[in-house]
Copies of this chain bind each other. A is one copy, B any other.
Amino acid sequence: VLSAAHVRWGIAGPGEIAERFVAAMGAAPAGRVVAVASRSRERARAFAERHAIGRAHGSYAELAGDDQVEVVYVAVPHSHHEAVTLLCLAAGKHVLCEKPLALNARQAERMASAARQHRRFLMEAIWSRFLPAYRTLGELLAAGQIGRPLLVEAEFGFRMPVMPAHRLFDPELGGGAALDLGIYPLQLASLVLGPPDRVVAVGAVGDTGVDELVAALTAHPGGGVGVAKAALRANLAGVGRVVGESGTIELAAPMHDPRSVTLTSESRSDVVPCAYDGDGLRFEIDEVHRCLAAGELESPVLSLDESLALARALDAIRADLGVVYPGDSA
């Protein structure tokens, strides 16, 4: 039974991450997925049946027009984030949009403007930020456990065979390591040191025209430094590290989903377990529910201005590497 207290979600894009989202919603009692949409009605129906979702739409416009839906989880490829998000916002829906918010900063700015204009909630789905480990990180920093943070380094990389048809290698879909994986280390540096004011990158671009290996440096207000690495070509250890004047906090690998945090200061190390049950997406879902209940149109944990700064950082990285998407010209 769907009570009035339930937040009613629609899902745009019944892919792999949407499967995780539905599983995570099971642990978030305040919400319920009531609809799903795909460009293929068949795919939408199959997904709806698999998850006992009442309504299956054959287009995103149908989903945007569904008056049972309050908030849409946009889980289509990066290249379509903007179009689907604008459609939903214009129809009065709130939106949680998968990371990266858009293909480039210009698209992201249009999305943020639309959310503000229509007075609807919009957040980039950087789920890691809402995990227990990230809360612990914030508490340790706030308590001054490592003094002033100076350096944030993190990485996310794995080796996969080059598959030109796979979205990660396809410029049409906004492929490449930076947008899909690099956003995680970048957001960690931004979280700890503030949004970057300069970004430089080097890397390797593969035959399909996307970045398969990238390292970026970010300069932050006050002199903080970020080091972000991402790769589709090599396995990276995946640790996240905040080095402060008097100690280091380490997010266990993988830093986008750490299950423990280690604080090292002077000669002593303490491990803080940050385990949790179920799918980690549930913490960002809780935050959306909290914001909607409180009438907040942006999360204080991840503002639209910060998402725009991250989008500009990704633009700068691609500019340094010479990666251009067909969608950039739109």
Which residue numbers of A lie inside 8 Å of B, CB to CB? 150-151, 153, 159, 198, 200-204, 213-219, 223-225, 227, 229, 231, 233-237, 241, 243-246, 248
Known contacts A159-B246, A243-B236, A245-B233; is-contact A151 B213 (Cβ 8 Å): yes
The CA of A117 and the CA of B146, in the complex, are separated in Å by 53
Nearest CB of chain B from residue A23's CB, rounded to whole Å? 27
Contact among B151, B215, B236 with A234 in the assembled complex (CB-CB below 8 Å): B151
Task: Count identical subunits in the complex.
Answer: 2
The CA of A248 and the CA of B202, in the complex, are separated in Å by 20
Contact among B150, B159, B248 with A245 in the assembled complex (CB-CB below 8 Å): B159
Nearest CB of chain B from residue A202's CB, rounded to whole Å? 4
Task: Find chain B residues with CB under 8 A from A203 CB.
Answer: 223, 225
Task: Find chain B residues with CB under 8 A from A225 CB.
Answer: 202-204, 213-215
Task: Find chain B residues with CB under 8 A from A215 CB.
Answer: 151, 217, 225, 227
The CA of A213 and the CA of B203, in the complex, are separated in Å by 23
The CA of A215 and the CA of B189, in the complex, are separated in Å by 14
Task: Find chain B residues with CB under 8 A from A229 CB.
Answer: 151, 153, 227
18 residue pairs A–B, Cβ–Cβ below 8 Å = A150-B204, A150-B213, A151-B213, A151-B229, A159-B246, A198-B202, A200-B202, A202-B225, A203-B225, A204-B225, A215-B217, A216-B217, A227-B227, A234-B243, A234-B244, A234-B245, A234-B248, A237-B241
Contact B248 A150 (CB under 8 A): no
Task: Find chain B residues with CB under 8 A from A246 CB.
Answer: 159
Nearest CB of chain B from residue A203's CB, rounded to whole Å? 6
The CA of A227 and the CA of B213, in the complex, are separated in Å by 12
Contact B219 A202 (CB under 8 A): yes
Known contacts A159-B245, A200-B202, A200-B217; is-contact A150 B231 (Cβ 8 Å): yes
Nearest CB of chain B from residue A231's CB, rounded to whole Å? 7
Task: Find chain B residues with CB under 8 A from A235 CB.
Answer: 243, 248
Chain B: which residue is nearest A149 at the CB level? B234
Task: Find chain B residues with CB under 8 A from A227 CB.
Answer: 215, 227, 229
Contact among B198, B231, B244, B245 with A151 in the assembled complex (CB-CB below 8 Å): B231
The CA of A246 and the CA of B233, in the complex, are separated in Å by 9
Contact B202 A217 (CB under 8 A): yes
